[in-house]
Structure 1
């Protein structure tokens, strides 16, 4: 019985290696942690001063400011590499 001809396959060339994920600047992580800590201290201070501070006259808006600062820090964690 005759043998069939073998197909010549082109040589395997692997796909180009990815250049890797981009790194964040060196200030990213310290800024992220600092914002979360500042927000926490702001909220604790507001509760300890019974909504009379850290900015007098803002009342419960001081809580919103503290939580807003913390949320900015938490959002930064999603972009951290």
Structure 2
């Protein structure tokens, strides 16, 4: 007896191969450290502009524009750490 047309066109159902690689997991210290540096940098710059320029905080007045380098350094470290987060 001849086969019907539907039997000839059936294809096997695709099943993807099992993944052998484990999903990457970030270290536990990464997120708190990243947020800490980011918040530190923003707060340092804000504090410098609010109180450090007028000389209300003595050590900030002595650092001058290096305060911006310290604040942006914290923000840059935060961004660099965020690239390692999975």
| TM-score, reference length from structure 1 | 0.70
Moved over 2 A (4+): 51-56
Unaligned runs of 5+ in 1: 1-13
Aligned mate of 2:83, from 69, 78, 81: 78
Q: Which residue of 1 aligns with 2:33?
A: 31
1:1-80 superposed matches below 5 A: 17-48=19-50, 49-50=52-53, 52=55, 53=57, 55-80=60-85
More helix by share: 2
Unaligned runs of 5+ in 2: 1-15
Give the alignment's Cα RMSD to 1 decimal.
Answer: 2.1
